[in-house]
Structure 1
C-alpha cells in the first residue's frame, strides 16, 4: 500500500484520527503556550515552535457535527523554545504564554473546542473521557 505524506487515517467507527498537544511551561501545568492563527495574527489559537516531554494523554475528544473527528489530546511540558520555526518564518505566527484561565477565555472566543481541552485539564479529569481507556505512554516516546 502506498502512503501519501498527508494521508488521513480513520478508526473503525469512521472517525478521522487526530492528535494535539497542550504545551505547558512546567509540570505544574499552570501556563499554556498559544500561537497566533495564520489567518488572524492577533488571535492565539495554536501551539508550535517548541520541543518538550510528552507527559500523558489528557483525553479523547469527539466532534460529530459536520465531520467526524476523534482527537487524542496530550500534555507536553516544554523543555526548549525554538527561536525560529516554520510557521513563524513563513507566515509570521507569534507565541505567548497564558495562565490557563486566561488561555481558556482567549480560546472560547476563537476556538471553543480547544478551550474544552484546557477546561478538562483544569477540572483535573482522568486521561480518558469515559469512552475508552488508553494506556500510558511507552518509554520510547520520552527518550532520556
Structure 2
C-alpha cells in the first residue's frame, strides 16, 4: 500500500506592479500562490473503529483504544503506565508490552517518562501545517 504524501502546488493568480529597488523602474510581475497538499491518505472515523475494536475485547486493543482516546491536540499522551493500565482496565505488563510494540513499529515514541507522542504519519487530527509541526518534533525524538 502506498503511503500518503505531501506535494507542493503553485499557480499564477494574476499580475502586480512592483518597483525595482535598483533602477526605480515599475515592473509587472506574475503573482504566484504556493500551497502544500496531502494526497493518497485514507480517512477513518476513529470513534467507530475504536468502538469496534473495544468490542473485540482483547486486552491489548483496550490499551490502544485508551491511548487514542486520550491523545491531545499535539498527538501527545500524558500518562504513566499505571494510569493507562487503570484507565484501560488491564495489567501494567499489558501496557508495557503494547507500548514496546508501538515504539518498535514506529507508531509511538517516548518523549520522556509519562509522555508519549503518536506518529502523525499514522494518525493525526488537524490541518496540514499542524501535522507537519508535530511530525518535525516526532522525527527529532
TM-score band, normalised by shorter chain: under 0.3
Q: Which has the larger radius of gyration?
A: 2
- Which structure is higher in strand share? 1
- TM-score, normalisation: structure 1: 0.26
Relative contact order higher in (CA < 8 Å, ≥ 6 apart):
1
- Which structure is higher in helix share? 2
- TM-score, normalisation: structure 2: 0.26
